[in-house]
Structure 1
């Protein structure tokens, strides 16, 4: 051992030349000693072999080496002895006892050999290898961790599924959803082979000295492929995904879908998925598995949007040009999300380009948009800005109905995101969002509402396995509704502000076990309403309710565990403590009787005092069992709670519908959610089939009594009744992802009912959003990559309403209508056909500007789908049904898009 340590000390004093090319030798000798053979190699080749002569066995050997490498020569020379060797980059070789050297090299060895090894100069005209890491970052086993991100050299977008392989080796990695990869290598010279569809094969020489980061930017290359398919998730995600009830929106197909007035819409694209529906045109939001509109958590990164709609529901607030990914979690919600009962729409916005500036713009009949992105400091900081605005009033003036012609609408929204990389392990993201909507109908009533939201996110990598996100969000949503008639002119204002603090920690314990945990703290300030006269002539009295406050604090933890190749589980737990805070007044009522008109006393609470408190423990679990490579069974359960609800008694919430925190008398919504499905892929994962059943038991909800008064009502609890609910359904889907003819078909059978004492004699009745049958099909014809013709057909059952079914006459001769049970009658069924033709960007990738066109026909056969049905009395005092159709004709649109490269 002492002699071997002496050899290591000698090694510290030596320099060497790095491997430039493979070295070979011819050595044909008889009766040569091993010592002479070692010296011959040392003298004849640019290598250094360290050995102690007294360790080398005496005696002669015969050698017959032809074009042998140094390693092959040493193997032949030391064969049959107790000696072995270790090498450094095939230029330094240390011969010593085999039992001492072993079969692996440790970090100390590499440090000793390289301590005085200088990097060779790069030959003129030749690109040298990229140096990665330092010797002190090696792990004790002598391995280095090389990680990085693969991006598009022009756009800066990350590549999912790119392959990074070590040349002439089986060592390889594939980039994940964020474009990241990781390799474990021993120090030395390597050539990395990077492959990605449409970008050819790229070679990157590297010299690994220790653990470090190596980012790779790829430039596009010409290909002769008949079809290029880029997916944002694994090709077998339909059967491989563990999380139950999740749908990912295909952003590549979004711009090809038929649209209303040419505006690409994320929320409308969600309606193609099973279990997702809406009331109809002109209704804000969407419904998931029978849930109400306000039971969906709508995220823009970590910020929750209060209103997701522009122009009373015709457009969504998400700008598709700035979106990175869209995931919809239907009832089976991961533990990191909370505060809503039915679903989570997780929309992640993308960073700006770190390499080059880019502009993208689109002009349609009634809206226009622009997106600008680029580096602030190349490779270190970037920005992305997007804005949209409407100019629809010219189209409104063309209407034949005088009331519509005298109306006006306008909306604007803007996003700004700044990203700063701080070293290799820290990132700061600052972003802001603002929107404003105005709507005036025939100078009779008007809506005015807007959002201002700011976010700050710090992303920190602590180690290869441990990293975290720290988010701070502030949102201010304000709305007003105006009555513009002279004698009743009034303005009703309401709004909600919130502050969110959310640290989230991620730990990769192993390749089979990933852990996640954190806090989610939300402070709410709600303006429940104030009313004031709009003109001096108005007879409306002024009234204002006191601002309400609430805090929702949650602790969550989850784990994703791959038990085997077939079985995986994702589970978590969320605990929420909710408190309704003062200052405020709590009214007291008589016990055992309906509260309306039974007020007996009141209690006054000071600032910060707890007026009501609720605790909720919410387990979440999803399981997946793969039957084979092409089929799997997936199931899940989640407990959800909602402490903030929207108040509205109309067919659909309006922008001025107020928000209500849970109080002593208005409890939170609570629900158990179940799902079980079978999923099958065919044709090498090109065809995806799915069948899923779901059930929901809502053990705590509320609804409104008949003829409830909810606007600026200080005793709102007297208008609300508490009960329970249930929902169940079957979702079927089929999708063909690529091919000349591709598309999807989805069908949903569902039922959503409620049971509340005081409504419908205490029996179950249909919820406002119950639609038993919902069928959607989208067919794309792609004769080539540039041209796409798309047809979209939608059918769904008409929603339930309460209608008069008869009349009776009172003594004074007045006829009074007799109404059906709550929601016992349905309006006519809804169906619509849309068409779109897309002329995509040209094949010439060298052009500075690229253009595309989308021509669409919305509601091709001009069906007058009923949004609602209201009843009036004819002269003979019979009840007459009147159907309101928001859109009753075909809407053509042409959208022109342009972008720079």
Structure 2
């Protein structure tokens, strides 16, 4: 194409000069003749099969025009033409249809064919002038509503000196007017892409020409817009669902090529649109259960709260609800998530390689952002299932200025327990409730105030033998401010109170153990878009913790339990963070950050002193008393973060990441898994914070026009500061807990494989994880490495969706995982009095049986009529289809012959059917 450029310019120049000379020498009559000669020519060309090159050659041979083209640039396939009395523009449009080529015309006599980008790069002024004339002539007469043709943007005069046009705009919800944060704008067959900021604004730089924009956001699919860029200008986009177009929409909140284009290593984004279609326990859409479909994420089974990421423990995950951290992610002993899917805007899971703005946890960050209420009209959504019900209300307080959203869920599962065949289950009860309330006020054009609250309550009683009771209260205030097109920030204040209790309900041993944690957070953050390729983020995060380590009290008059309690503990965790995202080139991008944390363990409190500063049972030689606010001990941690992405070609990339993490708040438990009432422990002089190095390297490739995503990632974690418990440790209400803890190190490594097909009649995902998580602590297992409690070498998940049409979805989900490790008796011996004493294996050297389960779900979606004010949907599911009695744990009893007998404890050992009815107004 470059060879045509000087020829085209020479012809254009000669034509202009000759016209001027003829008019000047021959007079007006000659000029009139020229005008007549240049009257638009028409063309008759009909052929059922002809090459584009031959069609252009026929034009050059038979008409008084000249078309310049390079045959190698033309598509090789033949075309069918049926042109009668067509203008040259109509003819060339027909010949070039379906290709990436365009043409420039000069006074209907000279035409140059080539790539719009190539032409625009090589001779800006003439090309832009010709395109400007052509666009002006082709503009539609009206632009009411959604244009059926392309959108025309800008004028010639608005171009930058570099020949680039700057396209800016805002992306909103067509029905509510709410702006979208993090919506992606991708230009098809081009590297240009952008994501919207906190106010829904985006910016792109493009050369003049014709493009297809792909705009994606959660629940709105991949929307396509055709544009013709003539110069810089604004292009606002309102997204709305369309029942007739669902077959062509990829329901995702990410760009079509996000799998290969993302810079941040080890991040998974949850597709919220698929939540209600997944098979669930008792029909409740569950964020945490959906996360378990991703590689590297697992749990130890039903009845276990939380989730494990790359072998980490559940308290090593930072669970965010906007800027507030949740202490517990589960209801009903792990069967339901504390996140209400109806009020969620986005869910991102950062696996080890986390941005610098996050800290305080070792393994991962679950960043859940809630959405604003509807600013335009009121909306109601409700659902009822066999054991849970929910309702969501939203709408404007002052239209377009302020809004609210309220969501609440509650359970009523006791009737289902009464149907059980086991008396202990019949005599049990469970209940949970949670609620979210969010108020958003827009102040002027650049400021937003958000006030929100969250509360939850859980109760569980097993056969009047033991019980759990725990609750969360959290409030947040956030101020968002736009200072300029490039500078914006926010300030958040968070208060949270988590209280829990565990009760022994047997008369003689009846007791109630209470513990809890309160924290207050202030977090100012600023973002600066220095250039199109470089963005900065920085801020502070200050947390003030107050922890109740535990108190014990008798729960009946007959109880022999003595009351005891520990003094509250205080700590301050202050962090400064900064990061930069830089696109070095179209292929290579980096995201680098640094987080510095100063942790201070504060009084009032008493610190025990030991011989040689080594805590041992019964080894206290003295103690020191500290007053309120006095510094007891402190730790400093410098935590660099780095992620890099190199794009190999248009559909493949390599991603690598490194992160240093530190954790100053840990959960205390010695059972097989933590319970909701497990206590929390701040870092002290004798109980140091956890510290780790995390690295990952992955290869990602997309196929079938980005519809198929494939990925392979290896990771490793070296924990250079870690602790575990002595054998038979006593941790509940222990004033010298440090004597029950041993310090050592840990390691984890693994391979994650994933495959995903996003759309089509048959779609779904496959994921496989191989992992190993081990610890090495002096005094345990002879000082050799042993498996951690959450080491599960193999984990496989397959989710298959069958969509015969728009409304109906049949989903099958199969899960397999290696049984978790336990410490078990492997023999016994008798002592002189005849008692049999068990001999235990090394720490976590035995595994319980492997876990596997099949679930099915059928979803009848909302109807096609988008004008209906009330719409309904149904989900029918079967959980644990073949009734697998998966072992939560294995306990041992002694047979009459005094041998050890293994007993399997299965929390769910049968199939659980459920049907959920949803109703919503528009």
Which bracket does the TM-score occupy, shorter chain normalised? 0.7 to 0.9
Report the 3-state secondary structure (helix = DSSP H, G, I; strand = E; otherwise coil) of the residue aligned with 1:842: coil
Structure 1 position 627 matched with structure 2 position 638:
no
1:388 counterpart residue number: 409
1:738 counterpart residue number: 759
Q: Deviations over 1:47-94 (max 9, x none)?
A: xxxxxxxxxxxxx99788969xxxxxxxxxxxxxxxxxxxxxxxxxxx
1:415 counterpart residue number: 436
Indicate the larger mover: 220-229 or 557-566.
220-229
2:583 counterpart residue number: 562
2:725 counterpart residue number: 704
Q: Deviations over 1:424-467 (max 9, x none)?
A: 11111111100000111111111111000011111111111111
The alpha carbon displacement at 1:876 in A equals: 1.5
Counterparts of 2:480 and 2:503, CA distance in 1? 44
Q: Deviations over 1:780-834 (max 9, x none)?
A: 1111111111100011100000011111111222111111100000000000000
The alpha carbon displacement at 1:838 in A equals: 0.6
Report the 3-state secondary structure (helix = DSSP H, G, I; strand = E; otherwise coil) of the residue aligned with 1:395: helix
Structure 1 position 689 matched with structure 2 position 710:
yes
1:858 counterpart residue number: 879
Change (3 A) 1:364 1:815: same
2:316 counterpart residue number: 295
1:119 counterpart residue number: none
Residue of structure 1 aligned with 2:495, choices 446, 449, 474: 474
Which residues in structure 2 correspond to 1:199-210 (within 5 Å)? none
Change (3 A) 1:658 1:558: same
Change (3 A) 1:125 1:739: closer
Residue of structure 1 aligned with 2:252, choices 231, 241, 245: 231
The two structures have a TM-score, normalised by structure 2, of 0.80
1:404 counterpart residue number: 425
The alpha carbon displacement at 1:226 in A equals: 3.9
1:676 counterpart residue number: 697
Change (3 A) 1:892 1:583: same
Structure 1 position 820 matched with structure 2 position 841:
yes
Counterparts of 2:529 and 2:775, CA distance in 1? 43
The two structures have a TM-score, normalised by structure 1, of 0.81
Residue of structure 2 aligned with 1:434, choices 447, 452, 455: 455
- 1:276–1:288 CA contact under 8 A, matched in 2: yes
How many residues matched? 787
Q: Deviations over 1:501-552 (max 9, x none)?
A: 1111111111111111110111100000111112222221111110000011
2:349 counterpart residue number: 328
Which residues in structure 2 correspond to 1:246-257 (within 5 Å)? 246-257=267-278
The alpha carbon displacement at 1:164 in A equals: 11
Change (3 A) 1:305 1:195: closer
Counterparts of 2:193 and 2:594, CA distance in 1? 32
Counterparts of 1:626 and 1:143, CA distance in 2? 24
Which residues in structure 2 correspond to 1:61-100 (within 5 Å)? none
Structure 1 position 243 matched with structure 2 position 264:
yes
Counterparts of 1:628 and 1:546, CA distance in 2? 60
Structure 1 position 496 matched with structure 2 position 511:
no
Structure 1 position 617 matched with structure 2 position 638:
yes
Structure (1 or 2) with the greater helix fraction: 2
The alpha carbon displacement at 1:153 in A equals: 2.5
- 2:856–2:878 CA contact under 8 A, matched in 1: yes
Report the 3-state secondary structure (helix = DSSP H, G, I; strand = E; otherwise coil) of the residue aligned with 1:499: strand
Report the 3-state secondary structure (helix = DSSP H, G, I; strand = E; otherwise coil) of the residue aligned with 1:570: strand
Counterparts of 1:529 and 1:302, CA distance in 2? 27
Structure 1 position 664 matched with structure 2 position 685:
yes
Report the 3-state secondary structure (helix = DSSP H, G, I; strand = E; otherwise coil) of the residue aligned with 1:510: coil
Change (3 A) 1:325 1:866: same
- 2:222–2:251 CA contact under 8 A, matched in 1: no
Tell me, which stretches of 5 or more residues in structure 1 are unaligned? Answer: 1-27, 38-59, 68-102, 105-122, 186-190
Which residues in structure 2 correspond to 1:145-224 (within 5 Å)? 147-156=168-177, 158=179, 160-161=183-184, 176=196, 179-182=200-203, 217=238, 223=244
Report the 3-state secondary structure (helix = DSSP H, G, I; strand = E; otherwise coil) of the residue aligned with 2:556: coil
The alpha carbon displacement at 1:256 in A equals: 0.7
Counterparts of 1:704 and 1:225, CA distance in 2? 55
Tell me, which stretches of 5 or more residues in structure 2 are unaligned? Answer: 1-19, 37-124, 127-140, 148-152
Change (3 A) 1:454 1:204: farther
- 2:222–2:256 CA contact under 8 A, matched in 1: no
Q: Deviations over 1:185-235 (max 9, x none)?
A: 9xxxxx999987899999999xx9x99x98654566674674322321111
- 1:589–1:598 CA contact under 8 A, matched in 2: yes
Q: Deviations over 1:720-764 (max 9, x none)?
A: 000001111111111111111111111111111000011111111
Change (3 A) 1:62 1:253: same
1:883 counterpart residue number: 904
1:362 counterpart residue number: 383
- 2:482–2:488 CA contact under 8 A, matched in 1: yes
The alpha carbon displacement at 1:152 in A equals: 2.6
Q: Deviations over 1:544-564 (max 9, x none)?
A: 110000011111111111111
Residue of structure 2 aligned with 1:351, choices 357, 372, 379: 372
Change (3 A) 1:845 1:481: same
Residue of structure 1 aligned with 2:334, choices 313, 337, 341: 313
Change (3 A) 1:402 1:302: same
- 1:200–1:221 CA contact under 8 A, matched in 2: no
The alpha carbon displacement at 1:867 in A equals: 0.2
The alpha carbon displacement at 1:874 in A equals: 1.2
1:867 counterpart residue number: 888
- 2:223–2:249 CA contact under 8 A, matched in 1: no
Structure 1 position 785 matched with structure 2 position 806:
yes
- 1:726–1:754 CA contact under 8 A, matched in 2: yes
The alpha carbon displacement at 1:151 in A equals: 2.1
The alpha carbon displacement at 1:778 in A equals: 0.5
Report the 3-state secondary structure (helix = DSSP H, G, I; strand = E; otherwise coil) of the residue aligned with 2:277: coil
Counterparts of 1:723 and 1:333, CA distance in 2? 24
Report the 3-state secondary structure (helix = DSSP H, G, I; strand = E; otherwise coil) of the residue aligned with 2:248: coil
Residue of structure 2 aligned with 1:639, choices 637, 655, 660: 660
